[in-house]
Amino acid sequence: MKTKIFCDSADFKTIKFFDKKNIVDGFTTNPSLMRASGAKNYRDYSFKILKVCKKKPISFEVFADNPNEMLKQAYKINSWAKNVYVKIPVINSKGTFMGSVIRELSSKKIKLNITAVYTFEQTKKIVNCLDKKTKSIISIFLQIFFNAKYSNLVLRLIVAIYNILIINFLF
């Protein structure tokens, strides 16, 4: 297992800047970040990002809540480029573990980024669903508490550092 640093952003200028830097191993986005970055069309904006991020891994998240729709979206997202990882939430909005989605996609050698993982139990369940020959990322979210004396800039930097910590399981 090796820890890698991924930039959690959909901002085109940020991705373009960090794509040239060794400090970042790759990128991870989500629909909320895409919208906040000005995306009007998810696919079109993703392709714009892929024009500057051609080699480093980049994760694009499904936005469906239903497992069958997640699978349809995942297959489409996977076809966009060789460096794309499909980002799947560990649970949907109903709290249902997305193990069947993870298992199917991983068994088809689709690179995955399992996101919004908060517990060790979730991590164990995910690992049991993964094909050990398929590259996968498990994005573990950390809870952080801050002292109000920090400036907004420092807070944003600290949050960014912790939010981009992603544990990469390369079996």
Residues 6+ away with beta carbon under 8 Å from 140: 117, 118, 123, 165, 166, 167
133: DSSP letter: T
Neighbours of 52 (CB within 10 A): 15
Confidence of residue 1 (pLDDT cuts 50, 70, 90): low
98: DSSP letter: -
Catalytically annotated residue among 4, 20, 87, 133: 87
**Total structural domains within the chain:** 1
Give the tens place of pLDDT for each residue, 10-64.
999 999 999 999 989 999 999 999 999 999 999 999 999 999 999 999 999 999 9
Query: Can 51 be counted among the known catalytic residues?
Result: no
What CATH number does residue 117 fall under? 3.20.20.70
**How many residues are there in the chain?**
171
Full domain range(s) for residue 38:
2-169
Q: Distance between CA atoms of 61 and 21, rounded to whole angstroms?
A: 23
Give the tens place of pLDDT for each residue, 81-109.
999 999 999 999 999 999 999 999 999 99
